[in-house]
Amino acid sequence: MKRHPSIANAQTTTAESFDCAMIGGGPAGAAAAIAAGRMGARCVLIERHDVLGGMGTAALVCVFCPSNYDGYRFIIEGVFGEMRRELIAAGSIYEHPGGMEAFDPEAWAAILRRKCEEAGVEVLTGNSVITAEETADGVRLELGCGRTVHAKAVVDAAGHAAVARQLGAVTHFGRHDGKVMPLTFCYLLDGIDLAAVKAAIPHGVLYDRHTGEEYIRLGDCPELNVLLAEERRAGRVNIPRDHISAIYGIPGRPGRGFVNFGRVNIANPEDPQQVAAAEEEGRRQISDGVDFFRRCIPGFAHVEVVETARQIGVRESHHLCALHVLSAAEAEGCAQFPDAIAQSCYSIDIHIPDSDASVLKPFAPGTHFDIPWRCLIPNSGSGRVVVAGRCLGADHVAAGSLRVMPTMAATGEAGGITAALMADTGKPAREIGADAVRRRLLETGGILD
């Protein structure tokens, strides 16, 4: 593997000293680490869970929302496209470019870890950053395990932008009134009778050509939503949600399905006590939901919960006050930017706070909006930090589209390239500029227009 010479020569013999530290092991943080590592930067990836993958593994949201395919062509490639193709080759994803693509969360986690290790990244799972402070030549990070890490550049992709905020970045919280989208506790069911589902709801079972498997695919199904409304009116279901978002099969596991159904409103998903209460309510909703499935859905009479998520799924918290904050008007108007580093065509998908309803505004086929490089760069605080993932600079509505995994990986890749260049040159983030980042993205298979 070709290494970036000036970064490689800058490595030290101290195990705790790195060129780049990536916070958060989801698709954004992992893609950032892989991209920077491939440029020769010595990287450490810090993830609080015992597994990489973020919401796709720890929260069992094991489906790629289609922000990467606009109906005519792929608009996201690079690191994400590479990993998606590996999932296809391994038979670990049900390929459906124009829709939700369910994948095996264990396979996803394994690919992320292997790609990081191949790029020379040190992966620290089961670790969190307790404190972050700027030093004369970088950032000092104290970890919960007692280790101290020093890095020349940091990519905060952990969702709440907590490290970036410790380093002086400013954020806004949730939508205009400070409220955030509700949370969902996802889980896996087993014992689904596919033949019975197919007989009752023919469009609810599809065939995947790569795996040769039939699989359940019930996403916002009108028939189920009518049943759900009746059960809620009768008081037999007490989940504040007007639809079942997804019941999708897991590759290689016939009769098993991932479920996204519950809804828990919360004031602050960063507050441990509120999160603990939300997870307790989320578990209650799992029981409520499974009872509904057994009573009402053909083929689900004997289903059992075989796995619950490590954490409740979080859709929104802090949004970076960046050099550019992507607005609702820009996202809905398919804005294009000269410093684009990623794109999205996934619907504006907003779970309305304090409500049982959602807003879903799809984009016309062949259209998308750009995410500028400036959305990754804080407009205040340390010049040694870049922000990627769902906490980048976007408002509540724009984030409703770009918060999904393919787009998050693309923003992370750009953030990792930026961080590697920062470590190489000693320049602060805003002085790196978009041009050098875009050149590298294009050289490595990125799609920017």
Highest mean pLDDT among 1-10, 212-221, 225-234, 319-328: 319-328
Condensed to tens digits (0 to 9), the pLDDT of residues 379-423 reads 999 999 999 999 999 999 999 999 999 999 999 999 999 999 999
In angstroms, rounded to a whole number, what is the distance separating the alpha carbons of residues 411 and 170? 19
Nearest to 246 by CA among 257, 262, 256, 260: 260
φ, ψ of residue 217 to 5 degrees: the values are -150, 85
Q: What is the pLDDT of residue 4?
A: 35
Q: What is the pLDDT of residue 359?
A: 93
In angstroms, rounded to a whole number, what is the distance separating the alpha carbons of residues 93 and 84? 8
Q: Which residue has the tokens 């810090």?
A: 46
In angstroms, rounded to a whole number, what is the distance separating the alpha carbons of residues 134 and 150? 10
Give Cβ neighbours of residue 436 (< 8 Å, ≥ 6 apart).
417, 421
Mean pLDDT of 323-337: 98
Nearest to 54 by CA among 31, 76, 20, 38: 31
Nearest to 311 by CA among 333, 278, 338, 336: 278
Nearest to 417 by CA among 448, 379, 382, 449: 448
In angstroms, rounded to a whole number, what is the distance separating the alpha carbons of residues 254 and 249? 7
Q: Which helix (H) or strand (E) holds 195?
A: helix 194-200
Q: What is the pLDDT of residue 269?
A: 97
Q: How many CA atoms lie within 13 A of 372 on its CB side?
A: 22
**Sign, CA torsion 41/47/51/55:** negative
Judge whether residue 76 has pLDDT over 80: yes
Is-contact 305 340, C-beta < 8 A? Answer: no
Is-contact 116 109, C-beta < 8 A? Answer: no
Q: What is the pLDDT of residue 344?
A: 97
Task: Provide the pLDDT confidence category of residue 220 given band limits of 50, 70 and 90.
Answer: confident
Cβ atoms within 10 Å, residue 54: 30
Task: Provide the pLDDT confidence category of residue 2 given band limits of 50, 70 and 90.
Answer: very low
More confident residue, 9 or 241: 241
Mean pLDDT of 126-149: 94
Please name every residue paired with 414 in a beta bridge, in sequence order, or none if there are none: none
Judge whether residue 5 has pLDDT over 70: no
Q: What is the pLDDT of residue 183?
A: 97
In angstroms, rounded to a whole number, what is the distance separating the alpha carbons of residues 128 and 135? 20
Is-contact 68 406, C-beta < 8 A? Answer: yes
Ordered alpha helix ranges (H), 297-404: 328-332, 396-402
In angstroms, rounded to a whole number, what is the distance separating the alpha carbons of residues 212 and 199? 19
State the DSSP code for 145: T
Predicted TM-score (pTM) of this structure: 0.94
The fraction of the chain above a pLDDT of 70, given in percent, is 97
Judge whether residue 3 has pLDDT over 80: no
Condensed to tens digits (0 to 9), the pLDDT of residues 294-310 reads 999 999 999 999 999 99
In angstroms, rounded to a whole number, what is the distance separating the alpha carbons of residues 181 and 281? 16
